[in-house]
Amino acid sequence: MLKFEAKDTAFRRNHVFRMGGRSLQKTGPLLMGILNITPDSFFSGSRITNERELLDRAGLMLEQGADILDLGAVSTRPGASDLGPEEELSRLIPAIRLIVRHFPEAFLSVDTWRTEIAREAVEAGAFMINDISGGIFDAQMVEFIAEKNVPYVMMHTTGRPSEMQSKALEAGEVLETVKNFFREQIDLFSWKGAKQLITDPGFGFGKTLNANYMMLGRLQELRLKNYPQLVGLSRKSMIYKLLDEAPETALNGTTSLNTIALLNGADILRVHDVKEAKEIIELTRKLAQSLSL
């Protein structure tokens, strides 16, 4: 049974992230809008193929209430093949510069696990690094994040996208495995001096369907040392496969699961559909406020 009390929610938490002389400060959940400059993202509606589309999409998300824009140049869908660093860089850096030039107040996150890409992204104006491997794929990432004290999303996965589902965790093992991963990586990054850490349990990244729902239902148990918690459920296969649909028709399911994530204390929602996510944040905020009267 889902238990919801006002004190359990993210609506009273104060978030402060700093980078390059700028700060993002907000009380309550944050919204991260997804910008995919990839031709093979699992959700066709998220694919951006030219500069005009990128600016239009970024501008709309900011207008609708996105606090952070998350820019990715490599598809990380299950089974996706890797992209070389040169091509990732050639896609990413011009896109960062374009967004920074047109939306200088935007807080831009870059979805990459490569330290060399992260370094150039930050130099080009990125505010945050979102690493699907939590520092596992590139051991130099911890040194860079600590050196620059970059806000850093540490996600759990069981392997690279091409292989992760062959190592999928079952429901009975997923909670302890993910918690142990966060314990080890938080200790490592903290020991090196990184302070602005965000955890992401990695829904859909090397977990069975039951394991994904186990994590969602017991999300609060995956919060370690009170670091902010990011949840990325948007249009994923745990929704559309269960409902016998497709990513393009999975918005209603996404909204339902994002609401559950908020009720279980999620601090950041990573979404394709900012307007709808903003609405459920406001509705759930009202619920939290009414329970605290």
Catalytic residues: 236, 270
Q: Backbone dihedral region of 283: left (phi > 0), alpha (psi from -120 to 50 degrees) or beta?
A: alpha
Residue with tokens 């929602």: 269
291: phi then psi, degrees, rounded to nearest 5 = -75, -15
CA dihedral 220, 179, 151, 143 (to 10 degrees): 170
What distance in Å separates the CA atoms of residue 42 and residue 233, rounded to the nearest whole number? 13
Please provide the DSSP assignment of 62-110 as one string. HHHT-SEEEEESS--STTPPP--HHHHHHHHHHHHHHHHHH-TT--EEE
Q: At what angle do helices 171-192 and 209-217 cross, to 10 degrees?
A: 60
What distance in Å separates the CA atoms of residue 171 and residue 209, rounded to the nearest whole number? 8
Q: Which helix (H) or strand (E) holds 17?
A: strand 14-19
What would the two tokens of residue 202 be?
């990695």
What distance in Å separates the CA atoms of residue 29 and residue 78, rounded to the nearest whole number? 28
User: Do 156 and 134 touch, CB atoms closer than 8 A?
Assistant: yes
Coil, helix or strand at residue 10: helix
What would the two tokens of residue 77 be?
């869908």
